[in-house]
Amino acid sequence: MRMRLCTRALLLAKAASYVAALLAALLVTPLRPLGGWAVVLMWGKVAAGALAPFLVIGGSLGAIISLLRRDFRAALAGLAGAAAAARHIRRLAAPHAHFDGAFGPGWRDRIPPALAARMLMYRWPWQLGLLPPRAPYQAHISYAMWPKTAENRYCDVRLPPDDAPRTGLGVIYLHGGGWHYGDKALGTRPFFKHLAGQGHVIMDVAYTLAPKTDLCGMVADVKRAIAWMKTNAAALGVDPARVVLMGASAGAHLALLAAYTPNDPAFQPADVTMDTSVRAVVAFYPPVDIAALYRDLRGARRRLPDGEDDHGEAGNRHTGADPLHGADAAALRAVRAAPAVDCRPDRRHARHRPGSLQRRPRR
């Protein structure tokens, strides 16, 4: 029995060492161009980044046990995997001065003390699951109706806890998923609980995906979400002048398009008549260079569909390589010209404008 347990422990240690080495190798391997097998490996790279803390622990433990059992090859693999994962964490969590360039020196001093006390002091995410106390949560609320099929669009709303001072800030979050996949509440609840604990109101939006609609239709859903939050601002405790768009990956791209096209007739849906401007936009690893992204993914034959936008007018149909299908090129130029702060070293999605916090200039 004892021998059997030792054998299992050795096998688990060896497996942990090699898995840590394999996934960590993806962290340091550039995947260009993103066609064919590189698309499949990209998801392994994404998973390795999210699991980096566990790779450090698993690789280290596997290396120690393998070393004690004199399996030097497995020990070396575990140490290499743990080191690569630790390097990845260090790069992501390293302090930087980009916020000083965006908001000016001493920006921390301008944060109200009551709010600063609820913010994380370090860029380590393990505390998100522990803070703050449970916040009021309302799921599956209809914020709009899609004109083509009369289907409701839904969102989840998370309010600040009773003991949190209200900031009046409303955050509209757009999930990622390559414009084709994903949904609200996709692994973001600890993050939203923390933001709500700071006194903010979080609206997690499920927007219409391809192939049901194109980019213009998706941006139209974002505009509807902005209008819904501003219409219900009093009930939510939100200042209509302090609405912020936030998104990740494809959702970040939509957030940028919506933020930099306030009240633009080319993007404003016919059923929205109120002001759709926002105070700021926070974009995590947005694919802002769509042409470059399309070239990267051409080998996988991924593109948004032709079709009509939900303004009731036919979108621009293309027979060439342009995947935008009706999206305004002037809006994309505005996004590229926007002031940006590089907050992440990850360049997985965008070539010349990686994941960033972007401020919309006041007009």
pLDDT in tens, 152-197: 999 999 999 888 889 999 999 999 998 999 999 888 888 898 899 8
pTM confidence score: 0.73
Assigned token pair, 148: 């083509």
pLDDT of 24 > 90? The answer is no
Give the model's confidence band at 291: pLDDT under 50 very low, under 70 low, under 90 confident, else very high: confident
Q: State percent of the chain over pLDDT 90.
A: 33
pLDDT in tens, 276-288: 999 999 999 898 8
Give the model's confidence band at 123: pLDDT under 50 very low, under 70 low, under 90 confident, else very high: low
Q: What is the pLDDT of residue 1?
A: 58
Calpha distance 65→13 (Å, rounded): 6
Top pLDDT among 289 and 284 is at 284
The ranges assigned to domains in the chain are 2-93, 113-358
Note the Cα 204 to chain centre separation in Å: 12
Q: What is the pLDDT of residue 268?
A: 93
Q: What is the pLDDT of residue 3?
A: 62
Give the model's confidence band at 356: pLDDT under 50 very low, under 70 low, under 90 confident, else very high: very low
Note the Cα 176 to chain centre separation in Å: 6
Which amino acid, residue 157?
Answer: V
Assess contact for 63 and 17: CB atoms under 8 A: yes
Q: What is the pLDDT of residue 130?
A: 54
Q: What is the pLDDT of residue 354?
A: 30
Around 9, how many Cα atoms within 13 Å sit in the side-chain half-sphere? 14
Average pLDDT of the residues in 86-101: 85
Q: What is the pLDDT of residue 297?
A: 64
Around 330, how many Cα atoms within 13 Å sit in the side-chain half-sphere? 6
Considering the domain 113-358 in this protein, what is its CATH number?
3.40.50.1820
pLDDT of 33 > 70? The answer is no
Q: What is the pLDDT of residue 190?
A: 82
Give the model's confidence band at 37: pLDDT under 50 very low, under 70 low, under 90 confident, else very high: low
Calpha distance 310→136 (Å, rounded): 33
83-86 long-range CB contacts below 8 Å, 24 or more apart? 83/24, 84/21, 84/24, 84/25, 84/27, 84/28, 84/55, 85/20, 85/23, 85/24, 85/27, 85/48, 85/52, 85/53, 85/55, 85/56, 85/59, 86/52, 86/56
pLDDT of 18 > 60? The answer is yes
pLDDT in tens, 231-257: 999 999 999 999 999 999 999 999 999
Highest mean pLDDT, choosing among 69-78, 203-212, 288-297, 342-351? 203-212
Calpha distance 181→201 (Å, rounded): 25
- How much is the mean pLDDT over the chain? 78
Q: What is the pLDDT of residue 309?
A: 41
* CA–CA distances in Å: residue 340 to residues 45, 122, 219, 302: 25, 22, 21, 28
Assigned token pair, 304: 């948004």
Q: What is the pLDDT of residue 40?
A: 73
Q: State percent of the chain over pLDDT 70.
A: 73
Calpha distance 199→229 (Å, rounded): 16
Q: What is the pLDDT of residue 322?
A: 39
Assigned token pair, 243: 């609405």
Window from 70-79, 270-279, 319-328, 345-354 with minimum mean pLDDT: 345-354
Q: What is the pLDDT of residue 338?
A: 45
